[in-house]
Amino acid sequence: MPSAEGTLDWKPLADHPELVAPPVAAAAHLVPGARVAEIDPDLADTAAFCAAYDVAVEASANCVVVAGRRGEESVLAAVIVLATDKADVNKTVRKELGMRKMSFASQAETEAATGMLQGGITPVGLPDDWPILVDEAVVAAGPVVIGGGARGAKLLVDGAALASLPGARVLPLTL
């Protein structure tokens, strides 16, 4: 039966910073109960990951980086929703950030700005001045699996812990 833990060997993140991207390791203190598991990097995408490791898709959360513009003003932000949901980037996220245009940030822009690899982006370890928009369903979900900043690692954290990250705002974000 799929669960949040699946068949993975979870270890305390604080004891295994070598498994995650450097910005994630540096921010481990922000999610003291977080655990980390090493995975096959080729299985980092949600559907393949959940199937291979018997993780419930409803216990998986995706973090995407969006780019917004309004005139000369621009912003990068993280958006976290459950893997079963789709974020309303063009209306809800755009309005929350006060931007005129929103898009998903490119892979190169995301990796340069975060120090993390696409397929492993996580809100843990993002720059402190970034808005982190967390869907209310993620906060209510209990333990969720998110990226570890690298394609070869996943984090298991309580969804509510993501609401306490610097710059985090909790709101209904899904379509």
Is the distance from CB of 123 to CB of 135 less than 8 angstroms? no
**What does the pLDDT read at residue 73?**
95
**What does the pLDDT read at residue 143?**
97
Distance of CA 4 to the CA centre of its chain: 15
**Mean per-residue pLDDT over the chain, rounded:** 96
Residue 161: inside a domain, yes or no? Answer: yes
The answer to whether the predicted template modeling score (pTM) of the entire model surpasses 0.85 is yes
> For residue 25, what are the domain limits?
11-171
Cα atoms in the 13 Å half-sphere on the side-chain side of 162: 37
For residues 72 and 53, give the distance between their C-alpha atoms in angstroms, rounded to a whole number: 45
Residue 117: inside a domain, yes or no? Answer: yes
Inform me whether the pLDDT recorded for 1 exceeds 90: no
| Residue in the structure block whose two tokens are 């450097």 | 22
171 confidence band (pLDDT: 50, 70, 90): very high
User: Quick one: average pLDDT of 70-93?
Assistant: 96
**What does the pLDDT read at residue 96?**
97
DSSP assignment string, 128-147: TTS-EEEEHHHHHTSEEEEE
Residue 155: inside a domain, yes or no? Answer: yes
- The CATH number linked to 120 is 3.90.960.10
Token output for 87? 């974020």
For residues 124 and 110, give the distance between their C-alpha atoms in angstroms, rounded to a whole number: 14
Q: How many domains does the chain have?
A: 1
Is the distance from CB of 140 to CB of 153 less than 8 angstroms? no
**What does the pLDDT read at residue 173?**
97
| Residue 22 Cα distances to 19, 58, 125, angstroms | 9, 28, 8
CB atoms closer than 10 angstroms to residue 166: 13
